[in-house]
Homo-oligomer: A and B are copies of this chain.
Amino acid sequence: MRILMVGFGNVGQKIVELLSKPDRIKILSDLTPVFTGIFTASHGAVVAEKGLSPLTCLEYFRGNNGFTPTLPYYYPGDIIDAIDTLSYDVLVEVSTLSITDRGEPALSYTEQALKHGKHVVLANKGPVAFGYKRLMTLARTQAVKLLYESTVMDGTPVFSLARNGLTGCSVTGVTGILNSTTNYVLDGLRGGKSHDEVIQEAQIIGVAEADPRYDLDGWDCAAKLTILANTLMGSDLTPMNISREEFRTVTPEMIRRAKSSGEYIRQVGSAWREKGRLKAQVAFRRFPAEDPFAFVRGTSSALRIETDCMCPQMIFQENPGLKDTAYGVINDLMTIVRSGFE
């Protein structure tokens, strides 16, 4: 399987590492990954039709903080040209979501690859959050796979479960704690830390970005909720359509009151149907200590799925790391192999 990868941050690097050391994961023998190109937005790109040596690329990239023109396989061209002209079977898009650019440029990359009859695997939420219906229609027309397991709850097989384990069910509602940064900060505040203190701490251990507003103000949760609602409940939302409470609505007084009554405040994304219309929101809610959502701690996430076939089902993941996200992408690649990839 020839892979063209866009994005070579933590997730991309971890994927290369896991795929190159197959003792770490039992890769399906038919997968035989060959990287024909690795692209970044601002740290250069490398291309080799016959396959790059991924571990050498990784080492170079880390040592030089990017790919530089001195490299023999350095590629100076545009990503979109590469997607149009290079040899590959699957586009793996693992760069970060841009809300302000409404999922671009990853959305265009995905669309272009699908048009060329290539499979696409995404860890980047942008394309499915901003163009799900259009992209899925295109994938069906082209008879290729568009998979995105890692976009919600990392490798936890949410979408795999929905595709295979809920056949015939209508999903009537989803509720989830989907952003670990916010959860981490809320628990820090509850523990008596100041806002600045807990954010700084979260940044140091790598849970929060330099600008944490994207997480705290619910954009990440809204993007994930959009993907869940669009793929499981047949809606056609974008994160812009989702009502979203910003972090400043959580006052120190609210934190104190919740603590004194033994409750926990959580940022919750939920989607449900009301009089036939789909509603979706990201809001801060209080849960009693004995509610499953109350003890989603650390970087853990949880998702509750309601259907018309069964009682509510809930999935927890306990403190995922980079390996979980990378595994989600690899599991998608293996799904492509098992679907009869040649």
Contacts and interface: CB of A to CB of B under 8 A. Distances in A.
Contact of A164 (B321, B327, B330, B335): B335
A312 interface: yes
Contacts of A331: 165-168
Contacts of A196: none
A234 B300 CA distance: 29
Contacts of A313: 156, 315-318
A324 B306 CA distance: 12
A205 interface: no
A167 B314 contact: no
Contact of A317 (B28, B160, B169, B310): B310
A157 interface: yes
A289 interface: yes
A136 interface: no
Contacts of A167: 28, 331, 334-335, 338
Given A26-B168, A27-B168, A167-B331, A318 B323 contact: no
A106 B335 CA distance: 34
Contacts of A308: 25
A295 interface: yes
Nearest to A291: B295
Contact of A310 (B165, B166, B320): B320
B161 A157 contact: yes
Interface in A11-63: 25-28
B310 A324 contact: yes
A2 to B, nearest CB: 19
A175 to B, nearest CB: 12
A157 B158 CA distance: 11
A169 B289 CA distance: 33
A324 B338 contact: no
A310 B327 contact: yes
A327 to B, nearest CB: 5
Nearest to A299: B311
A168 B318 contact: no
Interface in A143-171: 154-157, 160-161, 163-170
A291 to B, nearest CB: 8
A309 interface: yes
A169 B26 contact: yes
Interface in A95-133: none
15 contacts: A25-B168, A25-B169, A26-B170, A28-B167, A156-B313, A157-B165, A161-B165, A163-B164, A168-B330, A169-B327, A291-B295, A292-B295, A292-B316, A309-B324, A314-B315
Given A28-B167, A310-B320, A311-B320, 7 more contacts: A166-B331, A168-B331, A290-B294, A311-B317, A311-B319, A313-B315, A313-B318
Interface of A: 25-28, 154-157, 160-161, 163-170, 289-292, 294-295, 308-321, 323-324, 327, 330-331, 334-335, 338
